[in-house]
Each structure stands twice: as structure tokens, then as C-alpha cells.
Amino acid sequence: MNRRVSHLLLTLVLAMASAAAAQQPTPHPSPAKDPLTRHLFPPELIMRHQQDIGLAAEQRTAITKAIQDFQAKTIELQWRMEAETQKLGEMLSKPVADQAAVLQHLDQVLNVEREVKRAHIGLLVQIKNTLTAEQQARLNAARQ
């Protein structure tokens, strides 16, 4: 399967997800109310404010290592995601798709996506735990 079919499939899945989300009556929480945004700190924010929060060299090293480990893990997951998405596209390219088989394989694709999201949240928690309470408060103030 070529890359165009993969992108078409991804676009189709995203369009369906967007349509489903549009039907939901409750909006997404604002960043101030979203616990992930409110309590976790993206690496870019820490890099931008490293002097303001007094980031120690050991903390920077620990955060850099955590990011490198995350990147190494997610590269493997991206390869798996691409392979599974290609298989799904092949299943859908037939004139008559086996709905049960497609949905079962979709579960495999979604499981890889879940692993990526889990690794990302794990990284952010590890980064948060590297920071002191005072540094976290300063980052929260800088975010405002």
C-alpha cells in the first residue's frame, strides 16, 4: 500500500473522530481545567524558563535522558503504527471489507496509539518528578 492510501486512511479516521467529537455536547476543558495541562510541564516550557526556575545541571541531565529514552521508544512505536495502519488500509482496499476483521485490526492500531500516549504521559510525570515544588510553582506562574 502506498503512502497516499495511508494518509487517506488517517484522514478518514480523523474526520470520523472529528465528526463524533462535534456531536458531543460537552466541550473540551480549557487548559486551566485540564489536569494534564495544569499539572504537567512540557519540556519546551522548562527549556524556555530554565534560568527563571533555577534548573540544576543534574535536573537538566535527567530530563534530557528521559526525553532521549522516550524518543527511542516512540520511534519503534511509530514504525509499528505505520505497519499496522498499512495492514488496515489493505483490508479496507478490497471491494468488500470484512467488518469484523477490520474492527479487530483497528483495535491493534489503537493499542499502539495507546502505548504512545502512555509513554508520553510517563515522560511528563518523570519530568515533573525531577522538579522541586518551588520550580513547579514558578513554571505554573510563567504559564499564566
Please name the amino acid found at residue 6. Answer: S
DSSP string, 61-105: HHHHHHHHHHHHHHHHHHHHHHHHHHHHHHHHTSSS--HHHHHHH
Number of domains present in the structure of the chain: 1
Computed over every residue of the chain, the mean pLDDT equals 84
- The Cα 100–Cα 78 span in angstroms is 25
Residue 45 · residue 139 · CB < 8 Å = yes
pLDDT tens per residue, the chain (144 residues)? 445 444 444 444 444 444 444 444 444 445 567 888 889 999 999 999 999 999 999 999 999 999 999 999 999 999 999 999 999 999 999 999 999 999 999 999 999 999 999 999 999 999 999 999 999 999 999 988
Q: Which domain holds residue 25?
A: 3-143
